């Protein structure tokens, strides 16, 4: 599996949770935001996007983001 760096632009996030839905379905077989490895919290004033320790940076969350709040960048070799 390719690994990516995931760039986040929280100011573009709408809180649609498509990323959490896709992530949880791939890794648990069920749509369950609480089990997702990406965590999104949106309020009127701010948005935070973070990843749990077991995130593999597979990029499925990016594939499902429609708002450009998540972007893939191939990991640079050291």
Partner 1 sequence: MKLGGFAGRILIVNLSTGETRYEPLDYGLAEKFLGGLGVSLKLYYDIVKPGVPPLSPENPVVLGTGPLVGTDLPATSRVYAITKLPQSKAVAWCGGGGMNFGCMLKNAGYDNVIIEGRSEKPVILKIFDDEVEILDAGDFWGKGVKDTCSRLWDTYGRPTGIITIGQAGENKVIFSMAYIEGAATMGRGGLGAVLGSKNLKAIIVKGSKGIQVADRKRYRSVRDRLLKTMREYPYLKEWQELGLMKSLPFFPMDLYKKVKKRRLACVSCPIGDKDVIEIKDGPLKGTVIRSTSMINLITPMVYGLKDYREAIKCVSILDDFGMDMFEFFGVLSFTKDLIEQGVIAPEQAQDKIKVDSLESVEIWAKKVCFRQGLGDLLAGGFNAILDTFGDMARPHAPYIIRGMLPYTGPRGPLPWELFGTMELGQSLDPRGPHVGASGSPTYFARRPLDQFPRHLRRMGAPEEAIERILPSLGSPEDEESLKVGRLLTYSHNWFSALGSLGICARAQINRFYNAETCSEAYSSVTGIETTKEELMMKAERVWNLLRIANVREGFARKDDTLPDKWFEAPPFKNYVTMKPITRQDAERMLEDYYDERGWDKRTGIPTKEKLAKLGLE
CA distance 4 to 11: 21
Return the SS3 of 18: helix
Nearest to 52 by CA among 78, 33, 66: 33
Q: What is the DSSP letter of 12?
A: G
Contact track, partner 1, 9-48, x by CB under 8 A: --x--xxxxx--xx-xx--xxxxxxxx-----xxxxx-x-
Query: Which residues, 45 to 74, sit near partner 1 by CB under 8 A?
Result: 45, 47, 64, 66-67
Least distance between partner 1 and beta carbon 36 (Å): 11
List interacting residues with partner 1 (CB under 8 A): 11, 14-18, 21-22, 24-25, 28-35, 41-45, 47, 64, 66-67
């Amino acid at each position: 599996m390719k690994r990516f760096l995931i760039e986040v632009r929280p100011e573009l996030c709408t809180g649609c949770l498509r990323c959490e839905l896709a992530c949880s379905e791939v890794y648990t077989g069920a749509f369950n935001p609480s089990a997702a490895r990406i965590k999104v919290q949106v309020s009127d004033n701010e948005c935070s996007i973070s990843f749990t320790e077991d995130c593999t940076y597979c990029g499925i969350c990016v594939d499902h983001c429609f708002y450009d709040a998540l972007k893939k960048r191939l990991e640079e070799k050291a």
